A = this chain, B = another copy of it.
Amino acid sequence: MTDIARTFQTAPAAVPRDNTAKYLDSALDSEGFACPDWLVPDLEDGTAPDMKAEALENVVDRLPEHADAFPGEIWPRVQWAYDDEGAREQGREEIRTLVEEVGEHIDGVVVPKVGRLADVKDAAGVVADAEREFGFADDAIGMAVIVETAAAKSDLREISLFGSNSRLDALVFGPVDYTAELGGRELDGERPEWGGLLEDLSNEASANDLVAIGGPYDRLFTERAGVTFYNGDGYADHVEREARVGLDGSWSLYPKQTIQANRIHMPTSDELARDVRKIEAFQEAKSGGTGAVTVEGQMVDEATFKNFVNTVETVRTIDERHPDQTGEAYEDELLERALTVDTTWE
């Protein structure tokens, strides 16, 4: 099961270049903070209609050689739409081919534009059939769905409950399709933020042990005084908003976005220092015997304490997988304290 999903980076699986797998190749070779926790070779909207076949071939061709060395998980996005039987038929074929040809190299498939619960179950059934046909264990291939239709949002609680005991592992938000379906508009440069939906997504994911991932941010570049440059502020604000409400990860369209989202979804050095310090101070004060210690003007009870421990545990998980990232992000002395501090409450 997935234990980190800070970044969900889609890469078009075929583009009209000499090397049509250019973006897929570079994502598979990414290193350090530019390496996504989830790489999503995109057979859906990121790939032009006339290149779908080549896109699938590229995935089938590249994964056997590169998947094992890739430190993250690999989740191809197939075609699907609750209101388009043609898209679903293509999706069924893509899932079959992926499971048959590279089933041992993928962690799951990402299914977009799902509708109500019945549609999600249909998609899960397609994966189950392919597992059986090609000799994989039950639930060997996971499934993530993109919540980007009014129907899926309406059934979010039921879909998530289904996820609590099925191959459904993750909920991903798709704001562009969602906004289009609801008829939302950008006015005065402001788009709807769908704050209620993000809360619900985070809640239902937590209630059912699913991963929750935010939506893409497509204002990749910005312009000022004649110069166009990477819109690092816009994306960071976007990711921070998602992290605040408890989404596990953010969608990335671009290596620089992956670097930022990987960074933001891990504790900052200040956060880690603060929470390690508070745990340490609490452990000292605890000897006094009260359950309501005040540390730096803040009451610390078991619930507050759990927040501090969450920070430390996230760092420990990342350190296990990517010691280069924790080594770069934190001072040695702080990291050492984080790895060794006593996080027990009683």
Contacts and interface: CB of A to CB of B under 8 A. Distances in A.
Interface of A: 12, 15-16, 45-51, 148-151, 153-154, 157, 160, 174, 176-177, 179-188, 190-192, 194-197, 199-200, 202-207, 216, 218-223, 228, 231, 240, 243-246, 248, 253, 264, 267-268, 271, 286, 288-292, 294, 297-299, 301-304, 306-307, 310, 346
Contacts of A192: 199, 244-246
A252 to B, nearest CB: 12
Q: Work out how many copies of this chain go into the complex.
A: 3
B297 A180 contact: no
15 contacts: A15-B290, A15-B292, A16-B290, A153-B203, A177-B303, A180-B306, A183-B206, A184-B244, A185-B246, A192-B245, A192-B246, A195-B196, A216-B299, A220-B297, A231-B297
A260 to B, nearest CB: 13
A181 B153 CA distance: 22
Contacts of A49: 291, 346
Nearest to A52: B291
A306 B177 contact: yes
A223 B177 contact: no
